[in-house]
Amino acid sequence: MADTSAPGRIRDAVAGAAPAVPPDPRRAVPRTDALLADPRLQQALALLGRAAVKAAVQRAQAQVRAGRLAATELMEAVLRDLPAGQREVLNATGVVLHTNLGRAALSEAAVRAVTTAAGATDVELDLVTGRRARRGRGAMEALAAAVPDAAGVHVVNNGAAALVLAATACAAGREVVVSRGEMVEIGDGFRLPDLLVSTGARLREVGTTNRTSLRDYAEALGPQTGMVLKVHPSNFVVSGFTSAVGVAELAGACAERGVPLVADIGSGLLAPDPLLPEEPDAATTLRAGASLVTASGDKLLGGPQAGLLLGDAELVERLRRHPLARALRVDKLTLAALEATLRGPATPTWQALHADAEELRRRSGALAAELTASGVAAQVVACAAVVGGGGAPGVELPSQAVALPAELAQPLRLGTPPVVGRVERGALLLDLRCVPPGRDGDVAAAVLAAAATTSTAATAPGAAAAAGA
């Protein structure tokens, strides 16, 4: 029976006026084991491991408990928080060897070789005898076959390492003679003089910034000379009142004094290419008399990051046996990719450099037409691509690009897959030169997805033409 007394009525009134107690958000948090069993996390568990995925789950659960995240949004938060690692990017910049995008894209043959080498391999084993064999002999044989003018070959982990090994073995405690006009700075502020001094060598600079003569070198050679270094200024051009000494001229002076001549050609071109007439190549440099050529493997060669050492057999063997060579040793994956690059078909780098202009125009036209039909303003414009990677400065490759509104640049970089173009004169240019032909559809889908997230200006008729054509 209800309490109708005055105290009862007061008690009921107070109870009715009391605010409702909000539900405890902790009760809405799914259990960790239930979340880890979610099908959407199974691939991540296989690739990243249970610990990393569980940590992401627990961070999301903590946000729900704190009231900063709805329980229904928990799984999406987990997926966003998982470590992504390196992401595949479609390079539509028109820069063939884009350092920020990893320079040379590996060929399919090289990718397959890396996959095979990920397991146990015969990298240092002779399967016939069961005994230890020279490390990476297949890659060394392929490199020697690619540059017959080299009596000896060796590989270290990058181009700078090749130069460091040469300077350490030849000139530690002695002098490296080098022209002032070749004291270059490479990417991220690394300077050649600092690199050489770190080996314990002393620099003997000759000539001036714009002019160096054979006499300058000859007067510097002496008992303290460890080596003469000839550096190709691969990322800049000096023009006007200039002069430099070629390898052939230097080789004679160095031979008379018994001093090794080391030529750093930088870009890794192994043989002459008519497309790049000013770019030095290993074969020609060795025939001109260089004792040793150093170069990179992930530039014009189109392979993995590596430092190539090519030249006199006795000198190369001396470098290979130097204690520092162990610290600069390449791994089995690099050796596998390098061998496949040297033995295999044309690399993506070669294909991009020598892309047919008419085919680029056709592909660009098809992409622009598809985007326009879907409401995105797009048109084909003529443009110039470049080699990049510190190679062939000043060389422009006539190309074609699809011009889009510049505001699509960031959404495209953040898409799946990310598409990176370049903004020029107020427009976003997508140059398909470095995009595999089979991926044009992915570029189109990425543009449409990016346009859907931006303002209406991206799909306004004529926007691309107004932006910069």
Residue 14 domain flag = no
Is there a single domain that holds both residue 192 and residue 268? yes
Instruction: Report yes or no: 109 and 398 within 8 Å, Cβ to Cβ.
Output: no
Count CB-CB contacts under 10 A for residue 223.
7
Is there a single domain that holds both residue 145 and residue 289? yes
Is there a single domain that holds both residue 216 and residue 131? yes
Residue 386 domain flag = yes
Residue 133 to residue 316: CA distance in whole angstroms: 18
Which CATH number covers residue 292? Answer: 3.40.640.10
**Residue 274, CA distances (Å) to 172, 187, 304, 396, 409 in order:** 38, 27, 24, 14, 35
Count CB-CB contacts under 10 A for residue 184.
18
Is there a single domain that holds both residue 332 and residue 378? no
Residue 283 domain flag = yes
Q: Which residues pair with 380 in a beta bridge?
A: 402
Token code pair at residue 234: 């691969």
pLDDT, position 131: 96
Residue 53 to residue 44: CA distance in whole angstroms: 7
The closest alpha carbon to 268, from 280, 286, 278, 284, belongs to 280
Residue 15 domain flag = no
Is there a single domain that holds both residue 355 and residue 326? no
Domain tally for the chain?
A: 3
DSSP, residue by residue, 256-288: HHT--EEEEEES---S--TT-TTS--HHHHHHT
Residue 12 domain flag = no
Token code pair at residue 5: 């007394």
Residue 257 to residue 196: CA distance in whole angstroms: 22
Is there a single domain that holds both residue 311 and residue 203? yes
Residue 406 to residue 428: CA distance in whole angstroms: 4
Domain end, chosen from 302, 318, 345, is at 345
Residue 279 to residue 269: CA distance in whole angstroms: 8
Residue 17 domain flag = no
Residue 315 domain flag = yes
Q: Which residues pair with 266 in a beta bridge?
A: 295
Q: What is the DSSP letter of 127?
A: T
Residue 421: give the domain boundaries: 90-97+350-468
Is there a single domain that holds both residue 323 and residue 257? yes
- C-alpha 107 chain-centroid distance: 14
Which CATH number covers residue 380? Answer: 3.90.1150.180
Residue 40 domain flag = yes
pLDDT, position 456: 44
pLDDT, position 466: 38
Is there a single domain that holds both residue 267 and residue 242? yes
Domain end, chosen from 345, 371, 394, is at 345
Token code pair at residue 6: 């005055």
The pTM assigned to this predicted structure is 0.85
Instruction: Report yes or no: 220 and 202 within 8 Å, Cβ to Cβ.
Output: no
Instruction: Report yes or no: 465 and 456 within 8 Å, Cβ to Cβ.
Output: no
pLDDT, position 469: 36
Is there a single domain that holds both residue 280 and residue 327? yes
Q: Which residues pair with 178 in a beta bridge?
A: 205, 229
Residue 347 to residue 398: CA distance in whole angstroms: 20
* Burial readout 321-346 (b: 16 or more C-beta within 10 A, e: otherwise): ebebbeebebebbbbbbbbbbbbbee
Is there a single domain that holds both residue 339 and residue 265? yes
Is there a single domain that holds both residue 132 and residue 242? yes
pLDDT, position 455: 62
Instruction: Report yes or no: 209 and 240 within 8 Å, Cβ to Cβ.
Output: no
**Each residue's pLDDT tens digit in the chain (469 positions)?**
555 565 555 455 445 555 555 556 566 788 899 999 999 899 889 989 999 999 999 999 999 998 899 888 898 899 889 887 788 999 999 999 999 999 999 999 999 999 999 999 999 999 999 999 999 999 999 999 999 999 999 999 999 999 999 999 999 999 999 999 888 887 667 788 999 999 999 999 999 988 999 999 999 999 999 999 999 876 667 778 888 999 999 999 999 999 999 999 988 999 999 999 989 999 999 999 999 999 999 999 999 999 999 999 999 999 999 999 999 999 999 999 999 999 999 999 999 999 999 999 999 999 999 999 999 999 999 999 999 987 787 789 999 999 999 999 999 998 889 999 999 999 999 999 999 999 999 999 999 999 998 864 455 434 444 333 3
Residue 199 to residue 41: CA distance in whole angstroms: 49
Is there a single domain that holds both residue 132 and residue 268? yes
Residue 183 to residue 189: CA distance in whole angstroms: 13
Instruction: Report yes or no: 415 and 446 within 8 Å, Cβ to Cβ.
Output: yes
Domain end, chosen from 277, 312, 345, is at 345
pLDDT, position 128: 95
**Helix residue spans in 192-269 (DSSP H):** 192-197, 214-220, 247-257
